[in-house]
Amino acid sequence: MALTRAQILNQPTVEDPNQISGGSITLRDTTATPVEISFKVANTQSDPYNITFPSTIGTPGFSGYVMTFSESSGEITGSFGPVVATAAGTDGQIQFNNAGVTGATSTIVYDDTNLVFDLQYDGANNPSFLRFSDDGASNYAQFQAPADITRDYSITLPALVPGTSNNTEAVGYVLKIASHSDQSVVGATTAVLEWGPPLTGDNVSQGPAGNIQTSDNTGGFEDKTAGNYLIYNTNTLNFQNTAGEIQINGELLLNSTTLGSTVLNSSLTSVGTLTALTVNAGIQVNNSITTPTDTDLLLSPNGTGDVIITAEGAAGKVDFQDAQGTPRTIGVTVPATIGTLGYNITLPAEVTTPGDMVMSFASDYSASYIDNRKTVNLVIDGGNEVIQNEPHGSLRFDGAYTITDWYILSTFPYNVPDSFDVVITKGTLAELTAGTAPSAFSGTLSLSNANAASGVTTGWVSNTIADGDILYFEVQNHAAAPTGTAIQATISLTLVPTALT
């Protein structure tokens, strides 16, 4: 039976006369074989209610709106509007609730403004995941965000895994951060990922420690469970294997304490502290060997071996430098050609007598210390008469010396006290050749009522002798007989060669 418009306006009741199923209203199209849409009441309705459709479909531009219903006292009223969120969402979002419960706090929310899905925590102990299940829904892989993200950021995945058409060249590649924006800008931080081989590119500055390993590759790293793998972080490349060593072509390169026996060459520029060093051929040092403060460089022969410095083109030499900003050097040099026979110089064990000593060598080149002082004597002779107050000779010197002390002995007559002075004046050979008087005064030696006297040259105007200097001797203040009785006297001067400077 077809209902007319008037009958519909009179609110007809549609029911199943057999009381088997709920009544329905069917809307049929006008095709030759009509297709129907039916509105049907539930077989058992707990409470009666009325559904009121909205009075208007909204203003132009409502495309995308949905019809929603609200309930009050058994009356359900419909209206058109934008997508309305459930309890945990906001306008413009569709929320997928946890376990289908409205208002649950673990949700997936689609934001049609930003075109993104947000997976949200429930705020307790249940993090939300982006999960991919297998076809049996028994195994899955999932992505999980940390519970607390300190700032917003986005990660862009690489466009393509490198390699050939079947990506065989990409085996062993890792996903790494290729670039990122300034992390100080909250909400604008981005990171771009790319594929690449391990330990290359920007890996040096990115990320925490990670394990790099292969599985069942001949000659490669075994599973980590077997104990062979690499650990890499921003500071360390750590090789972990059960043997505790690194090999190249089956030969030991190094372990934690030892270089392999096949490691023969190196271009090291510095090494740490060596507790032992054995050299079978030679060590070449192009610059210098230095030691820490207050330590020695010990070159110790093994048994009867020698420390040898070889002359190559010029004599070998050991240099000693002082501590000045521009050091001065004292060198010990071997002759370029020693002769037909070599020899050993044996140094003395110690200085036996302190003072001005020199090192002397015997025929076997063993050394000893001897006195470095020299004595020169001048005899003043009156010619069987009392020594006269006048010049009595001179002495010329080769080399530089210092006069340290003097001695006067009245030698004739014997054991007879006498008194006189000997004035010493220093000049040069040039002054003597030119006939001019000596230019320098040195000192005075005095004998006072004695037959011998001695002293030192402290207080003299000059007690140093340069190479070629001449000393002139003149007797003064000698009285005539009977108090002045000496007719002969000897003057001795002690000389020490001037040290090199």
* 76-80, 222-226, 427-431: segment of lowest average pLDDT: 222-226
Q: Where are the alpha helices (DSSP H) in 151-281?
A: none
Among 319, 353, 372, where does a domain finish? 372
Q: What is the predicted pLDDT for the residue at 54? A: 84
Q: Sign of dihedral through CA atoms 306, 312, 315, 319?
A: negative
Identity at 110, one-letter amino acid code: Y
Q: Domain span at residue 450?
A: 374-497
Q: What is the predicted pLDDT for the residue at 107? A: 62
Any domain includes 120: yes
Same domain, 453 and 477: yes
Any domain includes 412: yes
CA distance 314 to 326: 24
Any domain includes 23: no
Cβ atoms 378, 487 nearer than 8 A: no
pLDDT at residue 258 greater than cutoff 70: yes
Same domain, 410 and 492: yes
Phi, psi of 8, deg, nearest 5: -65, -40
The tally of domains found in the chain comes to 4
Describe the chain by its helix, strand, coil percentages, rounded to 5: 5, 35, 60
Q: What is the pLDDT of residues 290-309, one digit of tens each?
A: 777 778 888 777 778 888 88
Same domain, 408 and 362: no
Cβ atoms 497, 357 nearer than 8 A: no
CA distance 327 to 247: 49
Among 92, 123, 144, where does a domain finish? 144
Higher pLDDT among residues 163 and 441, named by residue = 441
Q: Which of 185-199, 334-348, 369-383 has maximum average pLDDT?
A: 369-383
Strand ranges inside 149-233, DSSP E? 153-156, 174-180, 189-196, 210-212, 229-232
Same domain, 122 and 234: no
Same domain, 452 and 363: no
Name residue 369's beta-bridge partners. Answer: 359
Among 357, 372, 387, where does a domain finish? 372
Cβ atoms 384, 487 nearer than 8 A: yes
What residues have CB less than 8 Å from 490, skipping those under 6 apart?
377, 378, 379, 380, 408, 409, 411
pLDDT range class, residue 62, cuts 50, 70, 90:
low
Q: Sign of dihedral through CA atoms 445, 447, 453, 455?
A: negative
Same domain, 388 and 488: yes
pLDDT at residue 52 greater than cutoff 80: yes
Q: What is the pLDDT of residues 202-229, one digit of tens each?
A: 333 333 344 454 433 334 444 555 566 6
Higher pLDDT among residues 197 and 372, named by residue = 372
pLDDT range class, residue 403, cuts 50, 70, 90:
very high
Higher pLDDT among residues 90 and 13, named by residue = 13
Any domain includes 352: yes
pLDDT range class, residue 444, cuts 50, 70, 90:
very high
pLDDT at residue 473 greater than cutoff 50: yes
Query: Stretch 433-446: mean pLDDT, rounded?
Result: 92
Nearest in space to 81 (alpha carbons), one of 95, 62, 96, 97: 62
Q: Can you tell me which residue has the tokens 């009156």?
A: 382
Q: What is the pTM of this model?
A: 0.43
pLDDT at residue 280 greater than cutoff 70: yes
Any domain includes 283: no
Q: What CATH number corresponds to the domain at position 389?
A: 2.60.120.230
Any domain includes 89: yes
Higher pLDDT among residues 212 and 176, named by residue = 176
Same domain, 396 and 473: yes
Query: Stretch 241-255: mean pLDDT, rounded?
Result: 81
Q: What is the predicted pLDDT for the residue at 19? A: 66
pLDDT range class, residue 201, cuts 50, 70, 90:
very low
Same domain, 98 and 169: no
Same domain, 356 and 384: no
Cβ atoms 417, 475 nearer than 8 A: no
DSSP H or E run through 6: helix 5-9
Query: Stretch 161-183: mean pLDDT, rounded?
Result: 64
Any domain includes 106: yes
* 59-63, 310-314, 482-486: segment of lowest average pLDDT: 59-63
Q: Report the percent of the chain where pLDDT is more than 90.
A: 23
Any domain includes 26: no
Same domain, 411 and 482: yes
Query: Stretch 38-65: mean pLDDT, rounded?
Result: 77
Number of Cβ within a 10 Å radius of residue 443: 20
CA distance 190 to 206: 14
Same domain, 403 and 447: yes
Nearest in space to 381 (alpha carbons), one of 491, 493, 492, 489: 489
Same domain, 390 and 473: yes
